[in-house]
Structure 1
Amino acid sequence: MIRILKTALCTLVLVCTAALGFFAWQTYYPVSASGQWHYQVLHTDVAKAASLMPLDDGSLMVSQELDDGKGSIVRIHPDGSREVVVGNLSKPDGMFATRGGWVFSQEALDSPVSFLKDGHVTELFRGQNVQGLWDDGDYLYAMEDRRDEGRVLRYRWSDQSLSVVRTGMDEGESIIRCSDGRMLYTKKKEGMVRELTEDGSDPMVVDGLNQPTFLMCDARGLWINEDATHRARLLLIDKQGHRQTILSFLKAPQSIVPTTRGTYLLAEGGRDRVLELTPPMAHVAVGDDGASTR
């Protein structure tokens, strides 16, 4: 009996050790870049980095997605110094430059979508767990990240009216419009990207994804980040529909944005940092979405 107990105890210890080792491997395994793509860690200690907005002077606006009024939007200057632009936020997430300022969302219940300009914050409207934002000049679109009860909201700047474009959305996170005119959004739970259409059919564009979150379009194609805690990927689907994994073993990545240097910045919220991704080609060109590509 004692021998059986010892054997069982040793087996339990080995199983626990293996499990802990597996989770540690997933947590600390380094990010891997495919082909001739390269990345470097640009900024560390950026708590729950979510949305990024590079500025003309070389500084970077970052939303830190902390809850219970602990979140903030910070500005990281070229010399590395930081200042809090807006504080006391609850899960600030989406951020979009428009009308000489920035709109930003808070992914918390009954929280405002606000407009920041010249140091002043103006509430535009309220939503429930608003995450993704997109502005086309006339309308500001907002995506609510909720289970079964999410909505796509549309705010009209000219008269401050708010309309509901979709209801019953299940974990929608990001919404964008690409240069071909399509408006796309993610369905995190379903692992897919859909197109927002006038007739409401919303056809599937991409499937087989692991918790897709942030989307971005440029001359290279459609970029998709997977908001998975372990082994998440940054994917690129080119104009011909070919899917390529650019980065692997990310931890809860959020937004990706182009820079004027021809690189990309990626917020890796699960590791509290911002990465800079460098394309394989040395030639720099301007894409059809206005994004620089290298």
Structure 2
Amino acid sequence: MVQVLRMRGVRILLGTTAAVVVGALGFFAWQSFYPVQASQGWQVKVLHTSIAKAASLLPLADGSLLVSRELDDGRGSILKITAQGDRVVLVEGLSKPDGMVAVEGGWVFSQEGGRAPVSLQRDGQVTPLFEGESVQGLWNDGDYLYAIEDRRGNGRLMRYHWHTGQLDVLRSGLSETEGLTRCNDGRLLYTEKAEGRIRALSDDGQDPIVVDNLRNPTFLMCDQRGLWISEDSTHRARLLRIDGEGQRHTMLTFLKAPQAIVADGKGGYLLAEGGRNRVLQLTPPAEPQTAQVEPR
């Protein structure tokens, strides 16, 4: 009798364990495959697929799109997708290419995979500009190129002068600072991913917090609709927008490791979703049409 009870107890325990395991696997599968949801009135669709670890995006004037593939150990590259959908690798042998910004006659890219140069690509030639350690975010204002390092406790915010080649370290001792952008009001913003906040570079060196209580903020972008923030989380990540009045709007949900967001030049946006190896297109609600009055 005792042996029978023991066997029954073992079966119950095994059954319970199996149910927990199946439930957990089902939950993770649901998080991975649940479709991305857009804010009311907005539309989201998959624009490009099969782009391993898509990270940075840079639309070009000819309608093509540059995408960095954030693979490590020299396996990373920068891919050009033409307006017709053809794909050409422009730069390869990189370690986690993660930042990309347009400059006159070309573009600049960074590498987050350890010590590597921030480089300029122009006329098919790659020219190193300056050395960095795990550089991610970039911002170009014409006179200066800003770069920020994603390191723990010893990251730097740097400024490179285009005309003189001088490199200034504006901040040091930073931790997990990834995103970098300038807004229409002139503020240069950067993220502190682990702390869940965004700071503004200030002349007094205090760098006030302008947004907090975020989840793993990474890439930033400012435009007329406000400040856009992507969350570098593996599951159930979001794309957020903070409008001019400080109100937060969740624009996309159920993302997987979203990275750069850029304007698509058509009134909408492109978002690299590195966790699913693809690029999404986000389209705003259609503008209401004004009724046309026929002349009498």
- TM-score w.r.t. the length of structure 1 is 0.95
CA apart distance, 1:57: 1.3
Correspondence for 2:113: 108
Correspondence for 1:224: 229
- Deviation track 1:121-146 (CA, whole Å, cap 9, x = no partner) reads 00001111000001111111111001
Correspondence for 1:248: 253
Correspondence for 1:80: 85
1:91 corresponds to which of 93, 96, 99:
96
Correspondence for 1:44: 49
Matched, 1:133 2:138: yes
Matched, 1:196 2:216: no
Amino acid paired to 1:86: V
- Deviation track 1:212-238 (CA, whole Å, cap 9, x = no partner) reads 000000000000000100000000100
Matched, 1:208 2:209: no
Distance 1:28 1:78 in 2: 28
1:271 corresponds to which of 262, 265, 276:
276
| Secondary structure of the corresponding residue to residue 25 of structure 1 | helix
Correspondence for 2:66: 61
Matched, 1:174 2:179: yes
- Deviation track 1:235-274 (CA, whole Å, cap 9, x = no partner) reads 0100011100000000000111112211111110110000
Correspondence for 2:75: 70
| Secondary structure of the corresponding residue to residue 178 of structure 2 | strand
Amino acid paired to 1:204: I
Question: Percent identity between the aligned chains?
Answer: 61
Distance 2:175 2:12 in 1: 47
Correspondence for 1:24: 29
Structure 1: tracts of 5 or more residues without a match: 285-294
Q: CA RMSD in A?
A: 1.1
CA apart distance, 1:120: 0.2
Size of the aligned set, in residue pairs, is: 284
Distance 1:241 1:125 in 2: 36
Distance 2:31 2:69 in 1: 23
CA apart distance, 1:279: 0.2
CA apart distance, 1:283: 6.7
| Secondary structure of the corresponding residue to residue 26 of structure 1 | helix
Asked which structure has the greater CA Rg, the reply is 2
Correspondence for 1:280: 285
Segments ≥4 residues shifted beyond 2 Å: 281-284
Amino acid paired to 2:125: H
- Deviation track 1:67-105 (CA, whole Å, cap 9, x = no partner) reads 111111110011111000101111001000012110100
Correspondence for 1:239: 244
Distance 1:121 1:31 in 2: 37
Correspondence for 1:3: 8
- Deviation track 1:129-172 (CA, whole Å, cap 9, x = no partner) reads 00000111111111100111111111111211111111111100
Correspondence for 1:287: none
